[in-house]
């Protein structure tokens, strides 16, 4: 009987020690998981803050676009289209030709002689050659070249804005040379 008591005591002691080790093991792993949960919660909070900022920026951009739309609504006057045929932009460049500067000089003279309170949106386009990023930059460079020249001719800078559409919104096919030439263009939209 005493062997049975000793055996029971040893068994009971073993279970008790095993339970303590298991509790320590669980506590250590719970602490690690809790740290991971805290880290993930911090990342979620950071992402939520970033999304809120993006949402605010989006709302502000939409408000500006709506205001511009209301300003321009029903007030389109005319546009001047300068394609590669007349603008003679180099295929990958934005320098204006002598013929085009003469056209822009006449255009600026007309604007000043009309003496209207007009606003110009100068849109730059390219063909589909090259990457989208390069084409957006090239379209912007072409529109800026026109804006700078018109400014030199006395058109107020605060009455002009530029935008690049790059290879978007082609007016002809990009599968042949003639079509690509038509797509390399600058459009000056005159709004009253």
- Of the listed ranges 5-19, 133-147, 170-184, the least confidently predicted one is 5-19
Give the chain's radius of gyration (CA, Å): 35
Give me the pLDDT at residue 191, please. Answer: 83
Task: Give the contacts of 86 (CB within 8 A, at least 6 positions apart).
Answer: 99, 100, 103
Beta strands per DSSP E along the chain:
76-83, 119-125, 160-166, 185-191
> Is 183 in contact with 117 (CB distance < 8 Å)?
no
Give me the pLDDT at residue 87, please. Answer: 46
Find the mean pLDDT for residues 160-186: 86
- Architecture per CATH, domain 74-191, reads as 2-Layer Sandwich (3.30)
User: What gap in Å lies between CA 19 and CA 14, rounded to an integer?
Assistant: 9
Residue 127 φ/ψ, nearest 5 degrees = -85, -175
Q: Work out the pLDDT band at 153, boundaries 50, 70, 90.
A: very high
| Position with higher pLDDT, 45 vs 162 | 162
Q: What's the pTM value of the predicted model, to 2 decimals?
A: 0.57
* 95-130 as b/e: b if 16+ CB within 10 A: ebeeebbebbeebbeebeeeeeebbbbbbbbbbbeb
Give me the pLDDT at residue 151, please. Answer: 93
- Of the listed ranges 44-48, 78-82, 135-139, the least confidently predicted one is 78-82
Q: Work out the pLDDT band at 147, boundaries 50, 70, 90.
A: very high
Find the mean pLDDT for residues 72-97: 64
Token couple for 150: 């018109």
In the block, tokens 């880290």 appear at 39
Give me the pLDDT at residue 35, please. Answer: 77
| pLDDT tens readout for residues 96-140 | 878 888 889 998 998 888 877 888 899 998 888 888 999 999 999
Give me the pLDDT at residue 79, please. Answer: 67
């Amino acid at each position: 009987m005493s062997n049975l008591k000793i055996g029971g005591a040893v068994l009971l002691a073993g279970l008790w020690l095993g339970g303590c080790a298991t509790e320590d093991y669980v506590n250590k792993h719970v602490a690690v998981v809790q740290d991971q949960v805290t880290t993930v919660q911090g990342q979620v909070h950071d992402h939520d803050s970033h999304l809120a900022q993006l949402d605010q920026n989006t709302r502000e951009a939409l408000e500006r676009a709506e205001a511009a739309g209301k300003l321009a609504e029903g007030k389109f006057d005319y546009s001047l289209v300068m394609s590669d045929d007349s603008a003679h932009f180099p295929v990958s460049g934005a320098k204006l030709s002598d013929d085009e500067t003469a056209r822009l000089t006449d255009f600026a003279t007309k604007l000043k002689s009309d003496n209207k309170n007009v606003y110009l949106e100068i849109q730059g386009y390219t063909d589909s050659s090259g990457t989208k990023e390069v084409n957006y930059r090239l379209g912007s460079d072409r529109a800026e070249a026109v804006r700078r020249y018109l400014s030199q001719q006395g058109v107020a800078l605060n009455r002009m804005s530029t935008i690049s559409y790059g290879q978007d919104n082609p007016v002809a096919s990009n599968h042949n040379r003639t079509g690509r030439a038509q797509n390399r263009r600058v459009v000056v939209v005159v709004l009253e």
